[in-house]
Structures are given as C-alpha cells and as structure tokens.
C-alpha cells in the first residue's frame, strides 16, 4: 500500500502552471483504467472549459502515449506554444506500472486515493466513467492550486520496495491455506468419531494408518484416499512455507547489514523475524512527519464524530494498511507476554483493571496504536521504549 499525501504539502511545487492571463499552461489529463477500455479525459490550454474524451483498449499503452502526443500537438496548434502534460489516475488493480511508464516518458503523473475525493452524499448518486473522469480533472486542478485536503495523492513505492513486501504477504496466504487444509482433515475425521488427530505433526501418515472410527472400524476407503490427498497438498504447503521463511530470513539478514533500523527493530524482545519483516516492509521503512501519520497509515487512528453538542467516538478508521494493522494487533497480545515490565504493558494492565477487567479488545487496539508509534520513534530517532527489554 502506498502512503497518502495530502494536497497541503509542498504547495509551492504543486501549483498549476498558468500563463499571465490566467490560462492553463499545461495539458491536464485523467485516465480511467479498466480491463476493457481506458477513458482519457483532458483539459487543454486554448480550449476553454471544454473537456475532450477519447477511449483506447484496456492495456494499450502505445495508444495512450499516442493520444497524449496528439493532445500536446493540438494545444501547440491552438496557442503556438509547447505545454507539459500532467496525468492523474486512481489507485486500483492495475498497480503502478502505468504511472511509472508515464514518468519515464517525462510526464508528470499522480495516483490518487479514490476514496479521498469528495462525492455526492445523496442516497442514489450517479456514477459513470465519464463523470469520474471529470471529477479526477477537478481534483487534480484543485490539488495543483494547493487547496488543502482536496484529495490524497499516493507516494508510490519503488519497484524494489513493492517487491520486498511479497515475501510476508505470500507467507500469510500460505498460512491461511494451511489452516484450511488442516481444518478440513480434522472435520472429515470428526464425522467418523475421530478426535485428537493433528495433521501438522511429522508422524501424520503413520497415525492415519492406525486410525479407527468411533465404532471400531477401519476408515472408509474413499474417505482415507481423500484425507491422503489433503495431506499431499498440506505437505506441499509446508514445503513452500519453509522456502518462503528461508527467503525472509535471508532478506532480513541483508537488511540488517545495510540498514540500522532493521537491526535495532530485530533486537527488541517479542519482535521475531515475521513481525520484523512485516513491520519494516509494510510501514516503518517509509518517512512519516509525526505520530498521527504513523497511526493513520496503520489504520489505527480514531474517527471522531463531532457536531455541536454531539461528540462521540466511532472507533478506529481502518483506512490504512490492513496487513500492518492485523500484525500490530497480534503483536500487542504477545507484547504483554514478552514485555510485561514495559511502560506500555503497565499502562494496558492499569486501564483494564480500572474497568474491572473488561474492554480488553478495545484497549488492545489502543495499545497497538501506542506500540507502533513507540517502535517508529525507536527505529527512526533511537528513542528507547521505556521498560522494554532489548537483546544485546
């Protein structure tokens, strides 16, 4: 997930180019990406407020670049001047490859978080690619003027940073599949009155041969064959998990040699290889200006609802990185076990005790928010977490 950047930052660098009489001095283009077609909406100098629209087949990068070249030629023919091109697109399934190609061609390109663009709050609002293209043009113009909080532009990661996250994400998918196969085997055997069989143990094949149903009979032939095939898939998953974990450990070893931040993060007791890989590759390698940005990116920022005398809390926003948030929540429970003397653990235990032992799930979210901020300060500024145990 790419970090979001509000339009209020670096306004002097984001002002829309305009001539002395207020006319646009650049070609503004929005691209609506889909599998079938790409809709190109543009606003050019000398064309007034008229928007032009063209479509190219989905994935036709050459057609897109040719259309951008034609827009520049038409603007030059109308005004006699050469204009740069600025392109905006929504973040989606296409990833960032189109954005990188546009930048390599010398165009200014922006990727926007679609959920950050203001829309109509009517119960039934109209949504078409045509209207979305217009809204992207308006959002880009407002962003270039420096209007605050008009939209959230993404800080696109480099190809190396994007690829580095694959290891932790692939392991999570494999672990989920492992759980599914293990539970399926247990369910099949439970239907025959068999309990206590663990398919993750090394003697799973030998124990399967010795199993008897609840009424003392052998396993039915086809059921046994199905369980054996499930074990084949499970063993393949175990081998792949082992291979992925080996790649993860190698990557972390290389990062420790080249990055002080990874080294100090791995030295904290309670932060194992998997936690270190997820924390670093999903979030802490990025630059944040303050703790609010850290909590917001992790999806742990509060969501207040205030209007007049109404003031209530709607819970955390969950609009950040879901993988980082889930890892931090899991890590918070383990933090209480491995770091009981830390200030964060003492704070959690005190607050839970004040509520009579209730609201643990609510307080663990608050602990996760404090923990990610503390780790960010420790990694970037060297601020030691009070009471935390660190390996030599």
First and final CA of the chain: distance in angstroms? 33
What does the H/E/C string look like for the chain?
Answer: CCEEEECCCCHHHHCCCECCCCCECCEEEEEECCCCEEEEEEECCCCCCCCEEEEEECCCHHHHHHHHHHHHHHHHHHHCCCCCEEEEEECCCCCCHHHHHHHHCCCEEEEECHHHCCCCCCCCCCCCHHHHHHHHHHHHHHHHHCCCCCCEEEECCCHHHHHHCHHHHHHHHHHHHHHHHHHHHHHHHHCCCCCCCCCCCCCHHHHHHHCCCCCCCCCCHHHHHHHHHHHHHHHHHHHHHHHHHHHHHHHHHHHHHHCHHHHHHHCECCCCHHHHHHHHHHHHCCCCCCHHHHHHHCCCCEEEEEECCEEEEEEECCCCCHHHHHHHHHHHHHHHHHCCCCHHHHHHHHHHHHCCCCCHHHHHHHHHHHHHHHHHHHHHHCCCCCCCCECC
Question: What is the spatial distance between Cα 277 and Cα 266, in angstroms, rounded to a whole number?
Answer: 9
Together in a domain, 207 and 137: no
pLDDT for 12 equals 35
Q: Is the pLDDT of residue 89 over 70?
A: yes
pLDDT for 177 equals 97
Q: What is the mean pLDDT of the chain?
A: 89
Together in a domain, 198 and 287: no
pLDDT for 347 equals 94
Per-residue pLDDT of 336-363, as tens digits, reads 999 999 999 999 999 999 888 788 888 9
Together in a domain, 11 and 136: yes
Q: Is the pLDDT of residue 11 over 50?
A: no
Q: Is the pLDDT of residue 18 over 60?
A: no
- What is the domain extent for residue 312? 261-381
- Answer whether 115's CB lies under 8 Å from 319's CB: yes
Q: Considering the domain boundaries, does residue 353 fall inside one?
A: yes
Instruction: Examine the fold and report which residue of 208, 240, 258 is the final residue of a domain before the chain moves on.
Output: 258
Q: What is the pTM of this model?
A: 0.81
Percent of the chain having pLDDT more than 70?
Answer: 94
Instruction: Examine the fold and report which residue of 242, 258, 274 is the final residue of a domain before the chain moves on.
Output: 258
Closest CA to 89 of 15, 14, 140: 140
Closest CA to 244 of 212, 216, 211, 277: 277
Per-residue pLDDT of 185-219, as tens digits, reads 999 999 999 999 999 999 999 999 999 999 999 99
Closest CA to 380 of 265, 292, 267: 265
pLDDT for 291 equals 92
Together in a domain, 276 and 334: yes
Q: What's the pLDDT band for 4 if we cut at 50, 70, 90?
A: low
pLDDT for 1 equals 55
Q: Considering the domain boundaries, does residue 304 fall inside one?
A: yes
Percent of the chain having pLDDT more than 90?
Answer: 61
Q: Considering the domain boundaries, does residue 41 fall inside one?
A: yes
- The residue whose two tokens read 């499930």 is 230
Together in a domain, 201 and 77: no
Together in a domain, 279 and 361: yes
- The residue whose two tokens read 């439970």 is 190
pLDDT for 91 equals 92
Per-residue pLDDT of 123-134, as tens digits, reads 788 888 899 999
Q: What's the pLDDT band for 19 if we cut at 50, 70, 90?
A: low
- The residue whose two tokens read 């954005």 is 99
Instruction: Examine the fold and report which residue of 258, 278, 300 is the final residue of a domain before the chain moves on.
Output: 258
CB neighbour class for 13 (10 Å; exposed up to 12, middle 13-18, buried from 19): exposed
Together in a domain, 188 and 74: no
The total domain count for the chain is: 3
Q: Considering the domain boundaries, does residue 367 fall inside one?
A: yes
Q: Considering the domain boundaries, does residue 192 fall inside one?
A: yes
Q: Is the pLDDT of residue 9 over 70?
A: no
Together in a domain, 317 and 300: yes
Phi and psi dihedrals of 111, rounded to 5? -115, 125
pLDDT for 358 equals 81
Together in a domain, 51 and 138: yes
Look up the CATH number of the domain holding residue 21: 3.30.420.40
- Answer whether 342's CB lies under 8 Å from 335's CB: yes
Q: Considering the domain boundaries, does residue 386 fall inside one?
A: no
- The residue whose two tokens read 């918070």 is 332
70-84, 117-131, 339-353, 360-374: the lowest-pLDDT one: 117-131
Question: What is the spatial distance between Cα 117 and Cα 150, in angstroms, rounded to a whole number?
Answer: 7
Q: Considering the domain boundaries, does residue 145 fall inside one?
A: yes
């Amino acid at each position: 997930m790419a970090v979001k950047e509000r339009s209020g930052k670096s306004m002097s660098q984001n002002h829309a180019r305009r001539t002395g009489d207020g006319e646009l001095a650049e070609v503004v283009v929005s691209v609506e990406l889909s599998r079938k077609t790409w809709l190109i909406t543009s606003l050019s100098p000398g064309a007034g407020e008229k928007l032009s629209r063209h479509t190219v087949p989905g994935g036709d990068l050459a057609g897109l670049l040719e259309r951008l070249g034609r827009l520049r030629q038409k603007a030059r023919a109308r005004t006699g001047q050469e204009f740069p091109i600025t392109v905006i697109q929504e973040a989606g399934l296409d990833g960032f490859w189109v954005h990188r190609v546009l930048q390599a061609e010398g165009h200014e390109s922006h990727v926007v978080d679609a959920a950050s663009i203001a829309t109509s709050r009517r119960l039934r609002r109209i949504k078409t690619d045509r209207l979305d293209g217009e809204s992207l043009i308006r959002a880009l113009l407002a962003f270039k003027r420096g209007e605050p909080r008009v939209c959230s532009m993404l800080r696109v990661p480099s190809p190396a940073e994007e690829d580095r996250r694959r290891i932790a994400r692939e392991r999570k998918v494999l672990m989920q599949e492992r759980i599914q196969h293990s539970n399926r085997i247990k369910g099949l055997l439970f239907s025959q009155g068999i309990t206590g069989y663990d398919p993750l143990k090394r003697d799973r094949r030998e124990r399967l041969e010795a199993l008897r149903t609840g009424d003392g009979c052998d396993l039915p032939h086809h059921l046994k064959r199905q369980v054996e095939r499930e074990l084949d898939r499970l063993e393949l998953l175990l081998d792949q998990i082992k291979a992925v974990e080996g790649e993860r450990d190698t990557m972390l070893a290389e990062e420790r040699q080249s990055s002080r931040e990874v080294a100090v993060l791995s030295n904290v007791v309670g932060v194992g290889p998997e936690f270190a890989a997820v924390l670093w590759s999903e979030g802490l390698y990025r630059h944040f200006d303050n703790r609010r940005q850290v909590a917001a990116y992790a999806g742990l920022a509060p969501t207040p609802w205030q209007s007049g005398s109404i003031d209530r809390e709607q819970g955390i926003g969950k609009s950040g990185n879901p993988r980082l948030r889930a890892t931090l929540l899991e890590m918070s429970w383990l933090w209480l076990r491995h770091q009981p003397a830390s200030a964060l653990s003492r704070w959690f235990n005190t607050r839970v005790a004040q509520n009579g032992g209730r609201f643990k799930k609510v307080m663990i979210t608050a602990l996760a928010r404090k923990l990610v901020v503390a780790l960010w300060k420790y990694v970037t500024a060297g601020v030691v977490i009070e009471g935390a145990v660190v390996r030599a």
